[in-house]
Amino acid sequence: MAGNLFEELKRRNVLRMAGLYLVGAWLVVQVGDTLLPMFGAPDWVPRSIVIVLALAFIPALIFSWVFEMTPDGLKRDAEVTPGQSIAPQTARRMDRMIMAVLLLALVYFGFDRLVLAPRRDAALVASTTHAATAKATAKAKPEVGRNTIAVLPFVNMSGEAANEYFSDGISEEILNVLAGTPELRVAARTSSFAFKGKSMEVPAIAEQLKVRMVLEGSVRKQGEMVRITAQLIDAQTGFHVWSQNYDRKLEDIFVIQDEIAKAIGNELKVKIAAVAEPGQRAGPGRNVAAHDLYLRGMALWHTRREDALWKALELFEQAVALEPRYAQGYAGMALVYGLVGDYSNRLPYAETLERARDSAERALSLDPSLPEPFATLGLVASKQLRRATGDALLQRAIALRPSFASAHQWRGNLLMSNGDFEGGLAALERASKLDPRSRVVSQNHAFALRTLGREADAKARCLTALSFAPDYGGCLEDVALVEIRLGNLDAARGYLERQAASDNPSAAGQGRELVAALKGGDRRALALRYAALAYNSKFDPASGNSIEGYNMPGVLVMLGENALALDYVERLASELGGTTDWAVMLPELDPIRCEPRFIAVVKRLKTTDPHAAKVCAGKRAN
């Protein structure tokens, strides 16, 4: 019986069909494995081909058993008489087909082993190396927590450029509400707004700002109506976590801001501390027109330019004239007066500090929950050398808004000038994390590193800032002075010339003169001119002096004029806001650090000099 079955399978060419099918299926699978990845086919495609071929094997054999090829086409085997059958001829053709397919399979097998396999192995090694490198890089990068967020400037969809401040202001208000939550780390306005108008993907922005969550949106303001669209994106996955549209009257803008902040808090499982309960936003101090002026003023304040600061002050004054109990308007005035004395000589320095203090106290009398007045009072106290009081006030501002980058920055500067290098550096590092694209924070952080003698780190910090602000004079000057200390005079000249060209074109030759003097030129003459310029032209851009006041004593020491450096330090210490408390901490002043006149200056500044013990002990030993 078995013999008869075997003979019947041979007669009906079922065995040949099996062989031809298996050899052909193997060849199809091998070619598919090679070609499909080249076309980006997903992993399920080759698996599906194997499954289909396997499932079709039995039906193919059944088909071969049931049907036979005749000169008249396919017919059921039972209907074909022995005289009509051409099974032997079909068998010979199938044998030739099997041999041809086998030959193709052998050719492909050789080609695969000799040509394709080495390429696959090389690609595998490369991909494995890339994956290992990527994994190592990922491990080297600090993990970004889910509760880190940046608020990008909302896009102005109103069709009028004049409304740009309004959409920016909405973003900043939401940012400030979120920044008051201790569980969140919120990128500062300076950094998040640096990407305004740039066509960058959200993951790339998040990577630069060291955050995971990104809030973006748009604002359309038409008459008394406003439409706000907001969406929260997880930069790690690229997915939208939350989105919402708001169509409201303009007078409801404060409620919308709170609703957005609260929705984000719900998604991130944190309680947003500054969100008001329903109905609490109404009443004195929430005048829409006054708030509009406030938003315009804050947009100008952030630029840190002299003309913009004075214009911001006008807008804040208009806001409080419109609504006398508007606390944020007085807070804005305090912020302007707290800084403007460092950018302008229109008012005496002492008067700017007094006005800052008065405005801040007025703001707190109306709303003691605002962090800006506390930060301003802390800054004023620091400039008046009341550092313990200043530190307490700045810490209060940080408690109210943990992600307040400027408060961390000002506190870091205060601690550094008080001789607390460890605490000051930690505060400035925190400010840098919150506001990585702030020019002034970058420069202050670099200064702290210079104070510690970490020249290479200071240079790297400022070079990072120069990568996005190539004309920033503060960092150009700091890098130049680091290069001088490292002995790279030609490199220093390049940075000094760039700094002069950006900050003070009339001092364009200063870099060449300083480097020439340091290389053996007339140091005395240049030092005398520098000292005279520094004494007489603190805010005069036409003076030809471009070196910052706190750096000047170090430059004079580099020129070998220690007596002039001491003269300058003494004079600077007699001026309010003279930044001598910064100057005395720089290692460049080690040659005069142990002089009685220098020690007297440190005492007058009500600070301690951590460098003195080591430097002066070494000099006594010699």
Model confidence pLDDT, tens digit, residues 486-503: 889 999 988 988 887 776
> What's the pLDDT at 310?
97
548 — pLDDT class (breaks 50, 70, 90):
confident
Per the confidence metrics, is the pTM higher than 0.85? no
pLDDT band at 132 (very low <50, low <70, confident <90, very high): very low
Q: Are 254 and 286 in contact (CB under 8 A)?
A: yes
CB burial of 244-282 (b: ≥16 within 10 Å; e: otherwise) equals: eebeeebebbbbbbbbbbebbbeebeeebbbbeeeeebe
Residue-wise pLDDT for 260-277, tens only, equals 888 888 888 887 765 544
**Top mean-pLDDT range of 244-248, 416-420, 546-550:** 416-420
Mean pLDDT of 27-52: 72
Q: Could you give phi then psi for residue 247, rounded to 5 degrees?
A: -115, 105
User: How many alpha carbons fall within 13 Å on the CB side of residue 287?
Assistant: 18
pLDDT tens string 226-254: 889 999 999 988 888 888 888 888 777 77
Does the pLDDT value for residue 338 go beyond 90? yes
CB 443 within 8 Å of CB 428: no
Query: With helix as H, strand as E and coil as C, how does 241-278 read?
Result: EEEEEEEEEHHHHHHHHHHHHHHHHHHHCCCCCCCCCC
Q: Residue 539 has what pLDDT?
A: 38
State the alpha helices, DSSP H only, in 269-348. 288-301, 306-322, 327-340
For residue 328, what pLDDT band results from cuts at 50, 70 and 90? very high
Nearest to 579 by CA among 615, 614, 607: 607
For residues 439 and 430, the answer to whether their CB atoms sit within 8 Å is no
The tens digit of pLDDT for each residue in 356-387 reads 999 999 999 999 999 999 999 999 999 999 99
pLDDT tier for residue 620 given thresholds of 50, 70 and 90 = low
Mean pLDDT for 193-200 is: 84
The pLDDT assigned to 137 comes to: 44
Tell me the average pLDDT across 109-122: 62
DSSP 76: E
CA 614 to chain centre: 38
Q: How far is 228 from 233, CA to CA, in rounded Å?
A: 16
219 forms beta bridges with 156, 228
Q: Which of 4-8, 431-435, 574-578 has the highest mean pLDDT?
A: 431-435
Residues in the chain: 622
**506 Cβ neighbours under 8 A, 6+ residues apart:** 541, 542, 543, 544
Inform me whether the pLDDT recorded for 196 exceeds 70: yes
Residues β-bridged to residue 156: 219
- Which residue, among 250, 331, 334, has the nearest Cα to 287 in the 3D structure? 250
Provide mean pLDDT across the span 16-24: 76
DSSP state of 184: -
Per-residue pLDDT band for 536 (boundaries 50, 70, 90) equals: low
The pLDDT of 414-433, averaged and rounded, is 94
Number of Cβ within a 10 Å radius of residue 615: 17
Q: Are 241 and 232 in contact (CB under 8 A)?
A: yes
Q: How confident is the model at residue 143 (pLDDT cuts 50, 70, 90)?
A: low
Tell me the one-letter amino acid at 501: A
Q: Which residues contact 412 (CB under 8 A, 6 or more apart)?
A: 423, 424, 425, 426, 427, 428, 430, 431, 444, 445, 448
Q: How far is CA 370 from CA 186, 320, 331, 365, 374, in A?
A: 17, 16, 8, 10, 8
The answer to whether 155 touches 219, Cβ cutoff 8 Å, is yes
- Mean of per-residue pLDDT scores for the chain: 82
Most confident of 98-102, 135-139, 469-473: 469-473
Is residue 418 scored above 70 in pLDDT? Answer: yes
| pLDDT mean over 520-532 | 82
- CA 356 – CA 232 distance, rounded (Å): 37
Q: Distance between CA atoms of 194 and 178, rounded to whole angstroms?
A: 19
Q: What share of the chain is helix, strand, coil (3-state, %, to 5)?
A: 70, 10, 25
The Cα diameter of the chain in Å comes to: 129
The mean per-residue pLDDT over the stretch 2-6 comes to 64
- The pLDDT assigned to 309 comes to 96
- Percent pLDDT > 90 in the chain is 36
CA–CA distance, 518 with 515 (Å, rounded to integer): 5
Distances (CA, A) of 386 to 378, 381, 418, 424, 574: 9, 5, 10, 16, 16
Instruction: Output the pLDDT for position 140.
Output: 44
Has residue 81 got a pLDDT over 70?
Answer: no
pLDDT above 70 coverage of the chain, percent? 79
Rounded to whole angstroms, the Cα distance separating 32 from 611 reads 72
What is the SS3 assignment for 40-59? Answer: CCCCHHHHHHHHHHHHHHHH
Q: What is the DSSP letter of 145?
A: P
Which of 101-105, 375-379, 383-387, 582-586 is predicted with the least confidence, judged by mean pLDDT?
A: 101-105
* DSSP assignments along 192-246, one per residue: HGGGTT----HHHHHHHHT-SEEEEEEEEEETTEEEEEEEEEETTTTEEEEEEEE
